[in-house]
Structure 1
Amino acid sequence: MINDLRNLLATTSFPYPMTNTIEVTGVNLTTAPKTELDYDIDMEVTVSDIAMINDLRNLLATTSFPYPMSNTIEVTGVNLTTVCYPNVCYPNGNGFQCRCEERFALSYDSCVLYTHCDDIIQGTCRCINAIPADGQFCQPQLPPKTELDYDIDIEVTVSDIAMINDLRNLLATTSFPYPMTNAIEVTGVNLTTVCYPNGNGFQCRCDERFALSYDSCVLYTHCDDIIQGTCRCINAIPADGQFCQPQLPPKTELDYDIDIEVTVSDIAMINDLRNLLATTSFPYPMSNTIEVTGVNLTTVCYPNGNGFQCRCDERFALSYDSCVLYTHCDDIIQGTCRCINAIPADGQFCQPQLPPKTELDYDIDIEVTVSDIAMINDLRNLLATTSFPYPMTNAIEVTGVNLTTGKSNRLGIFSSAFLSRYLTEIFIYAVTLEESYSSSCIYQ
């Protein structure tokens, strides 16, 4: 517009009447608006003494910027970017090494072309073994790129349901990440939900590895089973836009048994604790991920004369070793007791009482054929000198053997070796019976 104004003034005749009493005798365009021009100037300086580089650094560090050169020119800043000096370690001794100053670096192409002498980090280096012929010296280091991840939900309407399979095939054959521009790439695309007409409404189904939340399953009427708080089919298009989400892996539950010792000043508080536990519902949630499945009061220890006496609560008992070591104060029944006269030093307090073992008794008849009737007496003597019960394994014992009937040459067991075989036959037969019984019965 400045030129337009110049042309207008050049073609206007002066004096120029404004009114009968006012005229403009002349107009001059005197001052053009200031235009600020910024220049980046690269300067190469040759010095005869490498020590002068430090002098230059100190000078720049103590100079205030912007620095006025004249009324119209000022230097806004000076950076020492690159220092190149003879490299006496270079193979032929005639080369140079160039190093970048702080906050400057060389491009990847320069690092490779001129042989980098330090590591290439994030596509840049700070040392090369030559003076760049293209004048591409060290440049300001850019801050590291910040990657931003976005999850974008896209709804696509198709006129033919068969196009869904085409879309699946397209996604299956597309390689990811897929570059959109130099700065944007698509890391993956998932087909999550397919909704299609169903009678007078719609039905939405999740694709593989996706599921709907429990709230959506209930709100929009699920059309398959709810498993672990999710379903994969509903009878409506979610109005809130909450379509299928990635299925989380099943939670891993870890069970811990924690022993807690509580010291009370009043023994009556034990009853209060029993009442509290009796009226508390379990499992008891502590947080979203932790719940207490149960609390048992196992052992109560209280002063008794000069020591302590520990008693087990209902359904708990002490081991036989603890009963003996700490002097039991009630009867030992089936290898356990419920009262000892000390606090166990090893921390082995009362444990849950195991249900009593179920004993099964079998009467087994065995017929034995012998070649010599005199061996019957040997059998009688052997049985008379054998101690019963006779253990066969940890779980099986023979409580007794009776010789009941002799019939001419039929009957008997002979010698210690033969008795051993005889008892072994009983054991095998008993095990067979027990396995047969176990397969058809449930022990509780």
Structure 2
Amino acid sequence: MNFSLPYTISDSTNITEINITTVCSLNETRYQCKCEGLFVWPNDTCHAYDACDVITNGSCTCINGLPADGQFCQVLLSDYLIDIDVRFFDLFLVDNLRNIVRNISLPLTLNSSTNITDIDMNTVCGLNGTEYECKCEVDHVWPSNTCMAYQVCDSIVGSTCGCIQALPSEGSLCQRDINECEDAASVCGQYSDCTNSIGGYMCSCWNGFNVSNKDSPVSVNNSCHDIDECLFSSSVCGPYSNCTNEIGSYNCSCLDGFTSANSSFTISINNTCEDVNECLKSSEVCGPNSHCINSFGSFNCSCLSAFTVTDRNQPVSNSNPCNVSLPLTEYLIEIEINSIDSRITDQLRTLLMNFSLPYTISDSTNITEINITTGMISVSAL
């Protein structure tokens, strides 16, 4: 372009910059809008207007349409990694540089098209006595191959190190440690904790969970699953108890007739279930006029002498108590029936044979037996 900038339009208006960003033209039946060099359509526009070239890194350079909002192609943003070698004669100045870097507010705008988005101080090299050492800053490590190629001046952790006694000839610097635990579920699997370390990480199962293959470390392919503690009930809850498995845990309860030794603590192998002596627990357990006999896991009730249970078909209890037993007295009653008609005697015999005994007359009187013993017939002599 031969246009001379800045171009003065009036005393108050200058054209300082001209960019040709977008060229739109009718292509058969519709418009196509193409971007000039170093300009692109953003990802959402590429999809909204049917990109007519390949979408790369979330952008394209051609769309089949003219954006309704009047949008034009935008500047293609590029990321650049710049290594800056800062040399000091006085290593104490490193602390000053470190503080300056930490206090820079990011992103830092250099001009309308350039921003500094990240500053990473990663490696400090200097003499330590007679040895030359290159140490990594916090959250940075020397990769495994560098640790192996140069003498290490600290320990190797997870195949990485933080200090070597040389400056790598290829000019490499310490690398930022990757925190694998940022997406712990995809690394360790469910029901687990992920602990990041410099150059590595470690997975561990939550309490109540374990891996299927105990010979291999916890991972997404050897993930944690619930332990059924109740498979070992006697060693978990102790005797005379029920064990109920739960996800990541379990619950112990005593069988009927048993209770924990210390009710202030949960039932366990260290606080097992013991027999409840119901006879000491309450004087009303069997009701009045009774005797209570404790048995293992249960108890039995019986009436005291001279008392009988209310309902003999049910065991003695507070709801079926013992009552006073009155002494029984038997009476033999003879009844003489006079009849001149022998048929009446036959009818009486039949009636009494079908009589259901014992027959209750009142609360205190029962007929328990009836016998016809003697029949006398009057005979007239002629």
TM-score (norm 2): 0.35
Structure whose alpha-carbon radius of gyration is higher: 2
Question: Going by fraction, where is helix more abundant, 1 or 2?
Answer: 1
Question: Going by fraction, where is strand more abundant, 1 or 2?
Answer: 2
TM-score (norm 1): 0.31
